[in-house]
Amino acid sequence: MVGNRATVTLGGNFTAAQLRHCLEKEPVTFLAVSDGSASLGLLQDNYGIAGLVNQLAKAGIELVDISIQEPTLEDVFLKLTGRELRD
């Protein structure tokens, strides 16, 4: 509803260029990408972690770590009001 989506952090055996190329047409935004690690924002609710992992596996990208962080209540409050809780 407010536009915040899950953030996915990946670790594995890939270069930044490989990851960008593999996911260039997928509904993700690249928050931070370097060789062996990346943080991505999922842009669609129906494009879950399974679709992301499947796409990477098809490209031969080996993952060793995946973590998902959902937006917190503070993130939602900041998005809605533009202010921190302590402002």
- Distance, in Å, from the CA atom of 7 to the CA atom of 13, rounded to the nearest integer, reads 20
For 20-68, what is each residue's pLDDT tens digit?
Answer: 999 998 888 898 999 999 999 887 665 678 888 889 999 999 999 999 8
Task: State the pLDDT at residue 10.
Answer: 95
> For the chain, what is the domain count?
1
Query: Has residue 61 been placed in a domain?
Result: yes
Has residue 2 got a pLDDT over 50?
no
Contact (Cβ atoms closer than 8 angstroms) between residue 44 and residue 30: no
Secondary structure of residue 81 in the 3-state scheme: helix
pTM for this prediction: 0.74
User: Residue 12's domain is classified under what CATH number?
Assistant: 3.30.70
**Residue 40 sits in which domain range?**
7-81
pLDDT level of residue 5 (50, 70, 90 thresholds): confident
Query: Has residue 1 been placed in a domain?
Result: no
The terminus-to-terminus CA distance of the chain in angstroms comes to 23
